[in-house]
Amino acid sequence: MALAVKTPVTVITGFLGAGKTSLIRHMLENANGRKLALIINEFGDLGIDGDILKGCGDETCSEDDVMELTNGCICCTVADDFIPTLETLLDREDRPDHIVIETSGLALPKPLVKAFQWPEVRSRTTVDGVITVVDGPAVKSGLFADDPELIKKQRAADPTLDHENPLEEVFGDQLACADMVIVSKSDMLEEGELDSVLDLINEEARTSVEAIPAIHGRLDPGVILGLDAAVEDDVDARPSCHDDEEEHEHDDFDTFTLDIEVVANTNVIIGRVKQALTEEGVLRIKGALVIQDKPARLIVQGVGERVEHYYDRPWASDETQAGQLVIIGLNGFDRAAVKDALLN
């Protein structure tokens, strides 16, 4: 009796605004007949990334092929949300050739991968690879360590020093679990700066992991899919700073959603987003906005000092035109100041 063929699953992880959605969108647009299904997890209640992928206009990303989990971080809701969603895809008559999971920017990949050791999942799937997307300019700017050179010296003097901050912990875990690292926005780095980013990645990642520069997520899907890593078989060899914890929480981070009225001037709202991003503790702002006299919705993606915006698709005739932004930051950031910056 022939063994059932397991469906390969690729986990795409990376910090807030790293470029995961751009990478997946390019993958969908260049699937070359391969039927892909997506599970999109977002930190917060507003499903912006899944909506962007549904609206890409390609036959490989129909609404039936994009499933969203917005009930919390996927690494914390495995039994309640993730496993049933995965089984729904596997039970379909038109079972996908490959499943791609986009984790939230704050997710730890290892607990998710360990779920593939569950008997009801292991017999039907295999984790083809964990792809970690890294925002090159953000790493270069020191976002994931308060002072990278100083901390490196302190650790050299005292290897037992515990000097992790919440961003550094997430970043380190995402790199440690990776089979491949994609350095996004590499066009914004000088040659020497890119080398420094690659050196930092090599310090955190396992020795066999390759780091590949990319621009706007434009990589051949054949580079990402088909790694045959069978990650579920060696997950214990991928260290995590949370290995000794029975469960972990995301109390270090907070999020809220803000309704935005019809915008008359695009430059003004982009300026407000940039101002809000300067508030202490704010990590990312993203959403879809209604622009006066424009038939399409404006997508806004802001992280650090950078704000990208573009029109992605026309508003549907049966769709309520409503603008919303989701704000993600370190726990305790000043919500009132952010609201004031965005609305006034």
Q: What is the DSSP string of 122-189?
A: HTTEEEEEEEEEEEHHHHHHTTTSSSHHHHHHHHHH-TT-----HHHHHHHHHHHT-SEEEEETGGGS
Q: Which two tokens stand for residue 1?
A: 């009796």
329 sits in which H/E element = strand 323-330
Task: Report the C-alpha gap between 171 and 173 in whole angstroms.
Answer: 6
CATH of the domain spanning 7-237, picked from 3.30.390.10, 3.30.70.100, 3.30.470.20, 3.40.50.300: 3.40.50.300
Q: Which of the listed ranges 84-88, 176-180, 205-209 does the model predict with the highest average pLDDT? A: 176-180
Give Cβ neighbours of residue 167 (< 8 Å, ≥ 6 apart): 15, 143, 144, 145, 283
Helical spans, DSSP H, in the chain:
20-29, 48-54, 83-90, 109-114, 119-122, 136-141, 148-157, 166-176, 191-204, 221-224, 266-277, 335-343
pTM here is 0.76
The segment(s) of the chain belonging to CATH 3.40.50.300 are 7-237
Q: Which residues pair with 99 in a beta bridge?
A: 9, 37
Give Cβ neighbours of residue 24 (< 8 Å, ≥ 6 apart): 12, 38, 53, 100, 102, 217
Mean pLDDT along residues 327-340: 91
Question: How do residues 264-321 score in pLDDT, each as one tens digit?
Answer: 989 999 999 999 999 998 988 988 999 999 999 998 988 877 898 989 888 888 888 9
Please say whether the beta carbons of 194 and 186 come within 8 A: yes
Count Cβ neighbours within 10 Å for each residue of 229-250 and write b for 16 or more, e otherwise.
Answer: bebbeebeebebbeeeeeebeb
Task: Report the C-alpha gap between 1 and 5 in whole angstroms.
Answer: 12
| Long-range contacts of residues 206-210, Cβ cutoff 8 Å, at least 24 apart | 206/176, 206/178, 206/238, 209/178, 209/179, 209/180, 209/181, 210/180, 210/181
Kindly indicate the confidence band of residue 146, based on its pLDDT and cuts at 50, 70 and 90. Answer: very low
Question: How do residues 82-110 score in pLDDT, each as one tens digit?
Answer: 778 888 889 988 889 999 999 887 778 88
Question: How do residues 17-41 score in pLDDT, each as one tens digit?
Answer: 888 888 988 888 888 888 898 888 7
Mean pLDDT along residues 6-11: 95
Q: Where are the strands (E) in 214-264, listed by range?
A: 253-260
CATH topology of domain 253-343: Hypothetical Protein Yjia; Chain: A;domain 2 (3.30.1220)
Q: Which two tokens stand for residue 124?
A: 């039907």
The segment(s) of the chain belonging to CATH 3.30.1220.10 are 253-343
Q: Which of 24-33, 47-56, 58-67, 327-336 has the lowest mean pLDDT?
A: 47-56
Q: Which of 40-54, 202-216, 234-248, 298-312 has the lowest mean pLDDT?
A: 40-54
Handedness of CA 144, 147, 150, 151 (dihedral sign): negative
Please say whether the beta carbons of 255 and 155 come within 8 A: no
